[in-house]
Amino acid sequence: MAQSVAMRTRPIPRQRRTSTKISVTDQVGPTNSPERSGDQKPLEDHITAGPRTFITRELRKRVGNQDSYGERFCLGGLSVVGTRVDPDAVIEFSCDLEAIAGGISVIGRITAPFVGECRRCLEPMVGTLSLDVRETFVDRPQEGETYPIEEDSLDFEPLVREAILLSLPLTPLCSDDCVGPVPDVFPVVVLHEGAEPPTDPRWAALDSLRLPTDELGFADEAADSALDPDSL
């Protein structure tokens, strides 16, 4: 399965409750490809309870035939640890289809809104997944590699579900500039190479438990001699 991921995130108010490389895109529809030509069919305005099946009989009459598909629908909810797509969230899927020997090639895009909790500031947030997908439907599919053509039709729901679940972020971040829940006490900083990390004041009491320098030196010397073959 080949796909690329782009995510757009923003904080939301508390009453409402997103890595791979993150980029922002407002495009909805299949990725432009030199293998495809012609205009895309617009997404259907009607929102369904799932993607409708695509009948393949006309498309498969000759290798090289092309068609397109576009629809908006809900999937009843999807979730991973820390992130979810709500049951009433509208998912958009559009694709180009081409008849190939033994099957159908599908190149398209999935757009899905998701909600979660920022891993840094713990505030609720919302984001959008934009997934470019390239898949193949065949008469005799291999599990994890291709999808089935059943009774001259394509069911896009398993493709869409799997792509979204594999791409939802487990530890979303509302913003790269998020300062965390208590920035004055525990600031989020990027240390330069070789720099010492800041001391956490909660561990200050452990400083009094350190051994005196001479005792540490003796311990190090004893350890070194124990590892020296000439001392045996």
Q: How confident is the model at residue 12 (pLDDT cuts 50, 70, 90)?
A: very low
Residue 93 pLDDT class (50, 70, 90 cuts): very high
Q: Which of 146, 163, 158, 143 is nearest to 20 (CA)?
A: 163
Contact status, residue 96 vs residue 133, Cβ threshold 8 Å: no
Q: What is the pLDDT of residues 40-91, one digit of tens each?
A: 455 656 788 888 899 999 999 999 999 999 999 999 889 998 899 999 999 9
Please state the rounded mean pLDDT for residues 18-37. Answer: 32
- Length of the chain as a residue count: 232
Q: Is the pLDDT of residue 15 over 80?
A: no
Residue 143: phi and psi, rounded to 5, are -60, 130
- What is the band of 226 on the pLDDT scale with cuts at 50, 70, 90? low
SS3 state at 161: helix
- In this predicted structure, the answer to whether residue 35 has a pLDDT above a threshold of 90 is no
Minimum mean pLDDT range among 33-37, 40-44, 73-77, 200-204: 33-37
Q: Which range, of 3-17, 157-171, 193-207, averages the lowest pLDDT?
A: 3-17
Q: Which residues contact 105 (CB under 8 A, 6 or more apart)?
A: 97, 98, 134, 135, 136
